[in-house]
Structure 1
């Protein structure tokens, strides 16, 4: 749980005219000192080119030179880039994130410049306009293009291709034939303008009260954090849309963060209906050209609302007036590679540095967020009922010890009966199993040999649709061997356990008339594929949807009335600190897909442990029961949110090298009051991407500055070049 920098550090001092410190977007220890040429007048935030070895790299003037290197030994800045300077609040965020996560500031700065070419002047765009007769040779695609271009408007080749449904070469061919003339358009296409005064829906009394509180914070223009908690279907999105409208009316920019931007087709449709225009988007599926355009639009204020994944937090907003973190509990906000940070927590920090409100919206708050709300650090708005006539679904538990599925089957008789009834009524159903592929384990029926990844201590997952075995950790892929490498038995491998492909196979055999579809990250590639799948469900072209956790991401299907959770206990295995919390959140979100309109919904959870506190609370529909039990357990164990954790992961290509450093860390562990170190121990994934891994865990009281303690600890240990240390403040995963 992040402790916020409530002391305002103020603005930076002006840089010296003789020398400055320049932070480079590289994982270096800090900023480097450079001389300022006589023809340059540099200030903090200026973006420059600076020499580093035999090359020149882009950097940002960070302040006055440190003076640690004599001026005679300094090299001069090569040039200043003609671009708007990096704003003070973003530079302060870089420093804050680096200090909090114990990361090199340059590694954090690199996240602020994901497309360095965005700093270069934008080139003009070549477009075509109808100017001559049709070509002698006509084709269907050429006819469609000429019909489109008959309005006389100029369009780029890519725009023509998209609107006419043809390849980009068709437009170029018509230009060569003399039918089109070439024209130059403005350097970058304009962004749509969402309107705050665009009429919205009529809100319920509960929605209106919550929206009024958020609008008041936006109009005050001051830092505040609000937990917007509401059950699935309560209308949280429409509530924070009102806050977005207020920010737009005030001439401010808005950042909306979503855990997985590729899964937001319905959200984008709702936004466009509410504000009359779509927001700009930021995610990994954008081309570099699109990312450059959006980056520049944010920096110069042309982008008014941006919806993005966690990396959007580091974009150069010019006038940020509101941050919304939707599904704030979601694990996707935690980045674990490189700079390890939780984007939800860092969004709160950015709101503080920009002096604007932040809204954390969810149906299932993280315990850390709830603790902040209970302590008064965050405001708390709660909407316990669904919007309109919709009601929360009934939840039933199926004890698999009493009513198990048949041999090599995964659907229990009560769930099968419910599916038959739902499909016969012309309604839609969903089966949820958080396992991709056909089977999670493949073993030899003769000797029991298990097929494992050669790079990771993980089993290979069979994906029968593509005929491959895959590792979900490093991406290794291979075919199923004809012969067991252990006992040399032929054709002896058997699939063990179900993935969604195997579940779909059973469902297709049981319900041959039903139209089935699977929804998982490896069956749907990119936002367009997800949008098409969601639209198919909305059009009732699918009767039974079978999916992994991406089906829980806020989708609204009015005719979906039954959700079956095939293995409700799956996430409770492994002893993870947050296993119970994550399981409760995920199943609650999945269950919330049922009965979101006029038709009542029901949820069936298949479980081997109906007495488990998480399963019992889900069955009773009593979130308070689970939350209080989990809070009490965490407090008794001295775990977050009642303590602080720091994970140290030691990895190397050789196990002995990693183990030696890990043992040295244990010998020199901090002895401060309120601190306790566990380990070293092999990580659950002891081999990952070919590297052997050990973990140590520091637990400290909330009054302990764990960054200071950890810095001192690491400074006492010599780490060879072939060994890598990763520090994870507030770890989320323990793999």
Structure 2
């Protein structure tokens, strides 16, 4: 008999076997309905094989579904990603089928001609309607508009039976992009980069490139030209462009539409569910050439994926840490290899892992060393707060306030950058010293003055600001400590009451539509002072912005995160890079208590290479990424004793392995989240060690009870 191994979109560790009925023909990638307990479940056929029998009776596949098969490359990628991340393959399959879980759009009601029937009273208006309709099916509104008549004329023809109303399934229409619609003028570096990428794509096979360009150097124009050349050579090719933030998609969609005369498809959480289903189906059918999306777009069913672009590849947002844990950049490279496609990693501040791969020759290294056109890089200066501190209960130093006044006087814009949301990051009791935290969580409560509430940015818990200390009961003793963007904006308004001021953070701009509206206001010059978190530091082009003030440049340098220095350098480079575009020179002022810190000194000197060499040397000495590999095992549960027992059991059965160490178990920095106690074990291995094999062998030795959750994070980016 024939047996089909079916991946079911559930967190199960293996495919389930089902008997294939004799009359049914199945192949790898087909979608099927199979029984699982009392339910029928959608699944994807991973394998079909012949067998002489089985020692257990297999249930039969119920039916082959009419939905498009999952392409072979997509299925290969899903299975690889599951092995790499040590995730259940069913969960990865669920990502690939995500679009089909959304409802189909409602059918469109259209009118069409009924055979050769003629109207009883053939007026001029009715004749015009029938001529405008022809053999097509149109909505009544569109038909009336095309014929230049009132809707009553169309309704009369329907009532008379000359026209009939039919329901037609809504299908997403993506106009084919025109590579020659509006070509950009490229400088020699941009043209050379585009040629290298398009030549590799035309050649076929896997290729990877780092597109390394300073802020404002025109990386987007360079990779869009590579897209154009790819589509010119093969109009059926498909291209995926990944962005770290939804807020960045609108600007890129406008640029793509302008360049190609057709809008791309969008794929992210802000897209309506019926539209997501339409995009999924259009991609699977090859009716969509360009997709712009978030990291989950990697799992779309591309039958002919030829070019992947990861813009702002260094950005930590590409790492998904909730639920299914994976890094979008790393999986993009893997998908390109599986599809034998070309991948481009673009950034002004590439990650050390990507730079290391470029140095080793694994990636082609394409460099854009200067800003496009007449624009120049901003002048960066460190403001030593020990010499010119802010006034009491203020956060902006005299030199920064003076620079803001000069900029506003010139009719230009100011960006005040602070990577803290809310009004104040800590609320303390002056009487007993109690620090307010969310219930059952170690996370601090952050004051939000606009709403009058205290919010946990980890769990989302929110409560009105209390009048009494919850620990000692003292009244009016709670004090807000430290600045957030709301507090900095309050100070900016008091200093410059005539300036138009706004806040850009995930609290004040909760969705993609609000983000687009605020970005447009800033671009149009309707905002004078923008106080922002890192949401504004990524890829935006504000032509009139000439001053960036970093309120607390030391913030990211604190703590024990191995990527703290790298992340701070990247973030501050991106933030300061917003200053000065086109013919307006820019400057950036960084307030700091430690102006002699190597990161800040390298930033001020514009010496990225010096910072990279120093950071690489430290990582190499400790055999840390990119010179080594890390994996984290996180245990959590409401029963602290059960978590402790599992952690101890894991520590007792660590397999012997060379060039590999295990640290812990230890309490996680956030040891209590949503009432669950958390323990961590960290594995460090040399690059040539089979880290996934070690983890599989180790975890197979311990049975984890249902009360304890175990998650694995290969190549962790967060150490909370």
**What TM-score do you get using the length of structure 1 for normalisation?**
0.90
Q: 1:67 to 1:463 in 2, by over 3 A?
A: farther
Which whole-Å CA distance do the structure 2 matches of 1:182 and 1:603 have between them? 63
Q: In the TM superposition, what is the alpha-carbon distance from 1:512 to its structure 2 partner?
A: 0.5
Q: In the TM superposition, what is the alpha-carbon distance from 1:128 to its structure 2 partner?
A: 8.8
Which whole-Å CA distance do the structure 2 matches of 1:222 and 1:431 have between them? 46
Q: 1:65 to 1:336 in 2, by over 3 A?
A: farther
Deviations 1:76-134 (A, max 9, x none): 1111101221111111111111111111111111111113356x9876313699xxxxx
Q: In the TM superposition, what is the alpha-carbon distance from 1:65 to its structure 2 partner?
A: 5.4
1:175·1:182 contact (CA, 8 Å) conserved in 2?
no
Give the one of 23, 31, 34 matched to 2:18. Answer: 34
Deviations 1:527-580 (A, max 9, x none): 221111111111111101110001011110111000000001111111100000
1:559-578 aligned within 5 A: 559-578=544-563
Q: In the TM superposition, what is the alpha-carbon distance from 1:39 to its structure 2 partner?
A: 2.0
Which whole-Å CA distance do the structure 2 matches of 1:641 and 1:656 have between them? 36
Q: Please state whether the residue corresponding to 1:562 is helix, strand or coil.
A: strand
Report which stretch shifted further, 181-190 or 26-35.
Answer: 181-190
1:472-483 aligned within 5 A: 472-483=457-468
Tell me if 1:244 matches 2:227. yes
Which whole-Å CA distance do the structure 1 matches of 2:345 and 2:139 have between them? 41
Q: 1:433 to 1:728 in 2, by over 3 A?
A: same
Give the one of 520, 540, 543 matched to 1:558. Answer: 543
Cross-structure match for 2:190 = 207
Cross-structure match for 2:100 = 116
Which whole-Å CA distance do the structure 2 matches of 1:82 and 1:262 have between them? 36
Cross-structure match for 1:381 = 366
Which whole-Å CA distance do the structure 2 matches of 1:600 and 1:674 have between them? 51
Q: Please state whether the residue corresponding to 2:98 is helix, strand or coil.
A: coil
Q: In the TM superposition, what is the alpha-carbon distance from 1:339 to its structure 2 partner?
A: 2.2
Q: In the TM superposition, what is the alpha-carbon distance from 1:43 to its structure 2 partner?
A: 1.4
1:265·1:530 contact (CA, 8 Å) conserved in 2?
no
Q: 1:558 to 1:181 in 2, by over 3 A?
A: farther
Q: Please state whether the residue corresponding to 1:264 is helix, strand or coil.
A: helix
1:651·1:723 contact (CA, 8 Å) conserved in 2?
yes
Cross-structure match for 1:232 = 215
2:19·2:59 contact (CA, 8 Å) conserved in 1?
yes
Give the one of 695, 698, 701 matched to 1:713. Answer: 698
1:175·1:181 contact (CA, 8 Å) conserved in 2?
no
Deviations 1:419-454 (A, max 9, x none): 010001111110000111111011122222211011
Q: In the TM superposition, what is the alpha-carbon distance from 1:285 to its structure 2 partner?
A: 1.0
Q: 1:200 to 1:511 in 2, by over 3 A?
A: same
Give the one of 512, 535, 542 matched to 2:527. Answer: 542
Give the one of 38, 43, 49 matched to 2:33. Answer: 49
Which whole-Å CA distance do the structure 1 matches of 2:4 and 2:467 have between them? 65
1:265·1:534 contact (CA, 8 Å) conserved in 2?
no
Give the one of 5, 20, 43 matched to 2:4. Answer: 20
Q: In the TM superposition, what is the alpha-carbon distance from 1:223 to its structure 2 partner?
A: 1.1
Give the one of 78, 84, 91 matched to 2:75. Answer: 91
Aligned length: 684
1:687·1:693 contact (CA, 8 Å) conserved in 2?
yes
Deviations 1:661-717 (A, max 9, x none): 112222222321101111111111111122110111111111110011111111122
Tell me if 1:698 matches 2:683. yes
Give the one of 31, 45, 64 matched to 1:80. Answer: 64
Q: In the TM superposition, what is the alpha-carbon distance from 1:67 to its structure 2 partner?
A: 6.8
1:303-702 aligned within 5 A: 303-702=288-687
Q: 1:467 to 1:731 in 2, by over 3 A?
A: same
Cross-structure match for 1:101 = 85
Q: 1:77 to 1:71 in 2, by over 3 A?
A: farther
Provide the alpha-carbon RMSD of the alignment: 2.4
Q: Please state whether the residue corresponding to 1:197 is helix, strand or coil.
A: coil
1:154·1:183 contact (CA, 8 Å) conserved in 2?
no
1:263·1:550 contact (CA, 8 Å) conserved in 2?
no
1:158-237 aligned within 5 A: 184-185=167-168, 187-237=170-220
Q: 1:121 to 1:42 in 2, by over 3 A?
A: farther
Q: Please state whether the residue corresponding to 1:495 is helix, strand or coil.
A: strand
2:31·2:43 contact (CA, 8 Å) conserved in 1?
yes
Which whole-Å CA distance do the structure 1 matches of 2:52 and 2:99 have between them? 32
Give the one of 35, 46, 59 matched to 1:62. Answer: 46
Cross-structure match for 1:12 = none
Identify unmatched segments of 5+ residues in structure 2.
113-131, 144-150
**What TM-score do you get using the length of structure 2 for normalisation?**
0.91
Q: 1:330 to 1:66 in 2, by over 3 A?
A: farther
Tell me if 1:732 matches 2:717. yes
Deviations 1:26-76 (A, max 9, x none): 111201111111221111111100000111101111113597992651111
Which whole-Å CA distance do the structure 2 matches of 1:69 and 1:644 have between them? 44
Which whole-Å CA distance do the structure 1 matches of 2:297 and 2:586 have between them? 36
Which whole-Å CA distance do the structure 1 matches of 2:223 and 2:139 have between them? 36
Q: Please state whether the residue corresponding to 1:115 is helix, strand or coil.
A: helix
Which whole-Å CA distance do the structure 1 matches of 2:271 and 2:182 have between them? 30
Which whole-Å CA distance do the structure 2 matches of 1:192 and 1:659 have between them? 58
Which whole-Å CA distance do the structure 1 matches of 2:318 and 2:209 have between them? 18
Which whole-Å CA distance do the structure 2 matches of 1:183 and 1:35 have between them? 40
2:385·2:593 contact (CA, 8 Å) conserved in 1?
yes
2:417·2:532 contact (CA, 8 Å) conserved in 1?
yes
Q: 1:514 to 1:82 in 2, by over 3 A?
A: same
1:218·1:246 contact (CA, 8 Å) conserved in 2?
no
1:445·1:493 contact (CA, 8 Å) conserved in 2?
yes
Deviations 1:186-224 (A, max 9, x none): 532412332112121211111111111112112212210
Deviations 1:135-169 (A, max 9, x none): xxxxxxxxxxxxxxxx9995699x99xxxxxxxxx
Identify unmatched segments of 5+ residues in structure 1.
1-16, 130-150, 161-170
Deviations 1:474-509 (A, max 9, x none): 111111112112221122211111100010000000
Which whole-Å CA distance do the structure 2 matches of 1:454 and 1:68 have between them? 59
2:172·2:282 contact (CA, 8 Å) conserved in 1?
no
